[in-house]
Amino acid sequence: MERIVYYLVPDRRAEMKASLLNPELRSIFRFIPNPPVTTSVGRAVINGLLSRVKTPAQFDGVSFEVLRLANGQPARVFTPPGGGNGAALLNIHGGGMVIGTASQDDFHMAEVARSLAIVVVSVEYRLAPRGPFPAALDDCFFAWNYLLESAVGLGVDPARIAIGGQSAGGGLAAALVQRIHDAGGVQPVAQWLFCPMLDDRTAGRRELDVLKHRLWNNTSNRAGWMAYLGQEPGAVALPPYAAAARHTDLTGLPATWIGVGDIELFYDESRAYAEALRAAGVDSTLDIVPGAPHAFESVAAKTHLAINYKARAHVWLKNQLGA
């Protein structure tokens, strides 16, 4: 059975005015620009800045280490005090497929490890356009298999692993869950998707360009999908798992949580995916936050809106993992 949490019924996205922002977010998001991802120079600058961010050796008792997997990609492992309760999360970072690093999620993943007493493995993947589809998905699939193979050493029960991510990471998480399901074998118990980037066809909707969504608009979205797919988004057909929303058979997928703001670019595709999961008989929770732009829970992490939103998400994940 699907559980949909509706915090706002009317569609207020006709114009992206500052007045549409949740009052708690207005001073933070009023002047935040979109990242310059449409040029290689802009992407290089952002990724260069992110690479200089230093990570603490510990996060309030949560131990942390960086491993180099056999495919050459790093993975960041967070272990709670006492080693955890046997459950785990495979986390995939965001960045529109073209920017970002696993380290940007460090504080949230440490919080998840501590509050849920679970092991978190945060994967690094190849970015487009240097690493077009299926490079990122292959790296995530490799990390999933690493987690299964290393479960005993990590103190993890393979039957109690969830897969999650934010933005592009949420889209990759959804595609990864589909690929794992179709491959058979051990399955994730849940998927945990924050403002997921699910559908390339959104980028093909040129009428969305003028809305100028905050932090991630449709111009940036088109650049991300073009770099990842190597072609114009919105084609009649794509390779399997290139865009999670294109998958036609969602039956048998694990329980799903999707969180999204009602004024952000990915609102329509997130809601449509939740409804498609429901139609396929998948237990689906859709948490819609009023006046919330893209990735507000990261940009405005200390606001009551973000804290309460993540608390709901954590409770859901804890219940699914039996943690």
Q: Determine the average pLDDT of the residues in 211-239.
A: 96
Nearest 5 degrees, angle CA 310-CA 267-CA 260? 0
| pLDDT over 50 at 149, yes or no | yes
- In whole angstroms, what is the distance from residue 170 CA to residue 52 CA? 24
64 — pLDDT class (breaks 50, 70, 90): very high
What secondary structure does DSSP assign to 21-72, as a single string? Answer: S-TTTHHHHTTPPPP--SSHHHHHHHHHHHHT----SEETTEEEEEEE-TTS
| pLDDT over 60 at 9, yes or no | no
123 — pLDDT class (breaks 50, 70, 90): very high
Q: Determine the average pLDDT of the residues in 239-251.
A: 97
Percent of the chain with pLDDT over 90: 87
pLDDT in tens, 96-116: 999 999 999 999 999 999 999
pLDDT in tens, 162-188: 999 999 999 999 999 999 999 999 999
Q: Which pLDDT belongs to residue 56?
A: 73
Q: What are phi and psi of 311, to 5 degrees?
A: -60, -45
| pLDDT over 50 at 3, yes or no | no
Q: Determine the average pLDDT of the residues in 27-41.
A: 90
Residue bearing the bigger pLDDT, 163 or 35: 163
The beta-strand segments (E) located in the chain are 3-5, 58-59, 62-68, 74-79, 88-92, 119-123, 161-166, 190-194, 255-261, 284-289
- Regarding the domain with residue range 3-321, which homologous superfamily does it belong to in the CATH classification? Alpha/Beta hydrolase fold, catalytic domain (3.40.50.1820)
pLDDT in tens, 66-97: 999 999 999 999 999 999 999 999 999 999 99
Query: pTM of the predicted model, to two decimals?
Result: 0.94
Q: Determine the average pLDDT of the residues in 140-158.
A: 97
Percent of the chain with pLDDT over 70: 94
